[in-house]
Structure 1
């Protein structure tokens, strides 16, 4: 930990277009807290989206299976390699930090910019390894992010390409703070990180659905699951082509996959409306019998059940749709390289608004269910058996836990995207995550 506290971490301020902002950073070392403040100020003052990029040692133990791997010829890897090459020419700190060739790059997008991606695009992902923790390749090392000293690299690309959002690397307008114009780098990092996050959510939903269906033996739900799971191949191929080669091909089966996903989202909408209607019909402030509740929410009082399977199917459809939305937004942005990041965020925000609303509404149903008070079952006998008491208490506990983790209109935070780079220039991009989970 002593070495971690003394570590010097180069940090660049990246712009997605020519912007003029006051020179706030200077070239003095700063703490992580000061860097977070700087990001917020820059996001508030700059006309174009601003991000920061840090470079850390690559942790020895890094679960690459959680991320999306791209070879050295992919657009993101090429943009990152070019950025590193130009930065090390003018910064001894950057040259020393990247000399080994293997590093972990952390791009942080301020909350103001992240809000353009939508409220529900990046949710906290609970880590099984540590209570209350979140997944992060960097945070699993030695806490270096909290103890390092960040050194601004203010002249990373003095000899870079011409300015403008389409430039791979350039310098922002004269007279402003030294900002590196790197719209394609920011765009691709955000796109891959968000796609990896959605894929992680898909994997979680698949695991839960498989377990639930093994208990239910419900043929219709099995078919719904199969239809959605069958979409993954087309989405994976489209993702590989777009993120590895930069252009989305045709005849991949993506259209049929999107149709199946949209059908599943339609089912989720209808089920949501039924759940909301059922809750609205319950008497205000009065206990509810389990039998009344299970008519509209079958299996809600059990570990598995049809209702919980419907929830997971909705989560799966949302995760798959989010991956498709990212692909469509990147393709749309690449059609206008001079206005790349703006096109990306505009397309992303428009298409995912429905997903955010659906996810938030489902969370609202879970919160309302968790707040219900269960009534004692009606019966002729004034005394209940031990089994009846145990069932009532167990059901109450499971229903009250439904609201745990449900997020209704959650606050947007800074978003971190971590990129592991190997010596051959290939990269693995880990799921985008909120900075403060």
Structure 2
């Protein structure tokens, strides 16, 4: 890793409401560790949710296909442009960093606020080693990796969002407090698009895995389930584009039909989950389980494919799609009350995500219990295992143990990072939210 100690990173502290907190940062450069500490302290002291926004050079190697593009006229792009323009007038550091018009902006939402939005917004259901995020090293204009960058607070910034759009006006928090720029619309839109992109990234992964599994199973019923769920994407994509441009959702979009299909899939996942939990409860405690006994309740669990693994992926697909719908509903709800968009957004998002979080946690619990089982061969009159039985037992044990890899049950909330690539024309690409 190349150490570039001259790198200066402007950072704004954004509030979603007019708050007063002690001036802890000052205007001197700070380390990344100090910035993280400061963000946590401000989140604890502020009555309204806060976030920080960093600006970094934009790498040509960034995979834009992973994000959601928004044109320069979209509310998020406009709010970001206004923040940049107004900040450049009062801060030479911000002016220099944003002069090219092309930058990567990283918004970090503190763990406290992320928890208020629901733990599922950055919680992947994937095995270890599977790439879920788009996190990559930040590079400077020379293409070298920035290691020891100095973060410089941008204070006294002017309004970051105009009235309208998500609805709230923006300005600087009261004098004598920390340099908090009130920018509820900017934070709302960034979180909404980042969460939506994260959910769609999970959907893409689930579809790929389901397709591979179905090619082995040749199960028409499960193939129909997959097709019905993935068919919801078109309506959800259109609704996302309309809402992020401040439009109103209409019946003609087909979103109601998509929600119905997703609801059916979630109900099927609930039924299957209950069967799995009951089957595990019936197993003898503290004793080895015969492979054939296990595969009766979990068909294909001892193989790379199988019905059980397909059911898992279908549940993950339904959850990912539902998370996108929840974000749409939360944004729609927030924009209906221009006075406090982020508060309404957070309330709606958390309430509706709770069921999904519980379902996801319960499925993870089943996988953990399965991975901890001790396996034995099916009862046989032969006292010695054949070579084939030994091979099957070893393969099954290895595959079942791996079911617990990467699952997270009741994981602690972490800071959430949302990367936004801004082009010279003011258009942006928002990447999936990820643990910071």
Matched, 1:139 2:137: yes
User: Aligned-pair distance for 1:408?
Assistant: 0.7
8 Å contact 2:236–2:324 — kept in the other structure?
A: yes
1:60-82 C-alpha deviation (Å, 9 max, x unpaired): 21100100000011110011111
**Where does residue 42 of structure 2 map in the other structure?**
42
Go from structure 1 to structure 2 and tell me whether the alpha carbon gap of 1:86 and 1:339 turns closer, same or farther (over 3 Å shift): same
Q: Which moved more, 1:39-48 or 1:249-258?
A: 249-258
For 2:371 and 2:245, locate their aligned partners in 1 and report how far apart those are by CA, in whole Å. 45
**1:343-390 CA-partner distances (Å, limit 9, x unpaired):** 000000001100000000000000000000002321111122211110
Residues 1:431 and 2:429 are matched in the alignment: no
Secondary structure of 2:406's aligned partner? coil
The SS at the match of 1:391 is helix
Structure 1 residues 261 and 160: alpha-carbon distance in aligned structure 2, compared to 1, 3 A threshold: closer
For structure 2, the 5+ residue unaligned runs are none
Q: CA deviation at 1:261?
A: 0.1
For 1:11 and 1:313, the matched residues in 2 are separated by 41
1:276 is matched with which residue?
A: 277
In the aligned structure 2, how far is the partner of 1:102 from the partner of 1:290? 57
* Residues 227 and 407 of structure 1, relative CA distance in 2, 3 Å threshold: same
In the TM superposition, what is the alpha-carbon distance from 1:298 to its structure 2 partner? 0.4
**Structure 2 residue aligned with 1:177:** 178
**Contact 1:18/1:172 (<8 A) preserved:** yes
CA-based RMSD? 2.0
Q: 2: distance between equivalents of 1:220 and 1:30? A: 57
* Equivalent in the alignment of 2:111: 111
CA deviations 1:298-352 (Å, max 9, x no partner) are 0000110000000000000000000000000001000111111100000000011
Report whether the alignment pairs 1:205 with 2:206: yes
Q: TM-score, normalised by structure 2?
A: 0.95
> C-alpha displacement at 1:143, in angstroms?
8.1
State the Cα distance separating 1:243 from its structure 2 match.
1.4
SS in structure 2 opposite 1:298?
coil
Alignment match, 1:30 = 30
Aligned to 2:309, the other structure's residue is in SS state helix
Alpha-carbon spacing, 1:379–1:3, altered in 2? closer, same or farther (3 Å): closer
Matched residues in 2 for 1:356 and 1:75: separation? 29
Whether the 8 Å contact between 1:124 and 1:434 is mirrored in structure 2 is no
> Are 2:343 and 1:345 equivalent residues in the alignment?
no
SS at structure 1 position matched to 2:340 = helix
CA–CA distance in structure 2, aligned partners of residues 127 and 70 of structure 1: 31
SS state at 2:375 partner: coil
Q: Hey, what's the Cα distance between the residues in 2 that align with 1:402 and 1:429?
A: 32
- Report the equivalent of 1:288: 289
CA distance in 1, matches of 2:162, 2:87: 13
Are the equivalent residues in 1 in contact too, given 2:68–2:429 (CA < 8 A)? yes
Q: Whole-Å Cα distance in 2 between the matches of residues 112 and 37 of structure 1?
A: 13
Is the 1:137–1:430 Cα contact (8 Å) retained in structure 2?
no
Aligned length: 431
Contact residue 79 and residue 185 of structure 1 kept, 8 A: yes
Partner residue of 1:390? 391
Q: Which one is further off, 237-246 or 207-216?
A: 237-246
* Alpha-carbon distance, 1:16 to partner: 0.2
Partner Cα distance (1:335, 1:402) in 2: 43
Q: Specify whether residues 64 and 93 from structure 1 end up closer, same or farther in structure 2 by C-alpha distance, changes over 3 A only.
A: same
Q: Does 2:375 correspond to 1:374? A: yes
d(CA) in 2 for partners of 1:249, 1:239: 12
Q: Which runs of 5+ in 1 are unaligned?
A: none
Could you tell me which residue of structure 2 aligns to residue 355 of structure 1? Answer: 356
**Equivalences for residues 180-259 of structure 1 within 5 A:** 180-259=181-260
Contact 1:166 1:184 (8 Å CA) reproduced: yes
Deviation at 1:251, TM superposition (A): 1.4
Following superposition, the deviation at residue 168 of structure 1 comes to 4.4
SS at match of 2:157: coil
Name the counterpart of 1:66: 66
The reply to whether residue 327 of structure 1 matches residue 328 of structure 2 is yes
Closer, same or farther: CA 125–402 of 1 in aligned 2, 3 Å = closer
- Residue 147 of structure 1 and its aligned partner are, at CA, apart by 1.9
**CA drift at 1:123:** 2.0
